[in-house]
Amino acid sequence: MLTRKELGQWLADAGITSEIKISTYIPPHLFYFLNFSIGKKLLKLSDQVFSSIPVLENWGGVIIAEGIKTTNITL
């Protein structure tokens, strides 16, 4: 299992300043039965609720990373 901390370290080692979020705490198949607008609201609500619970905050099914390359790394 990849953690937020591990991904952040990998990106930092590659010279990327990043912001990492965890998302999708409910089964993604549930969204197939909802229209887009309702599904988006449900996802936002579930992310807010579950990410505020310390034990569950890192248990989402998707890691979202946004970053900016800040250094040149040669391998």
pLDDT in tens, 33-72: 899 999 889 989 988 998 899 888 878 888 889 999 987 7
Furthest C-alpha separation in the chain = 47
CA distances from 31 to 4, 21, 22, 39, 75 (A): 25, 20, 18, 6, 42
In a domain, 49, yes or no: yes
Domain that holds residue 59: 4-69
In a domain, 75, yes or no: no
Q: Considering its fold, how many domains does the chain have in total?
A: 1
Q: Are 23 and 13 in contact (CB under 8 A)?
A: no
In a domain, 74, yes or no: no
In a domain, 30, yes or no: yes
Q: What is the pLDDT of residues 7-24, one digit of tens each?
A: 999 999 999 999 998 887
Q: What is the pTM of this model?
A: 0.64
Q: What is the pLDDT of residues 61-70, one digit of tens each?
A: 888 899 999 8
Residue 75: the pLDDT is 62
Chain length of the chain: 75
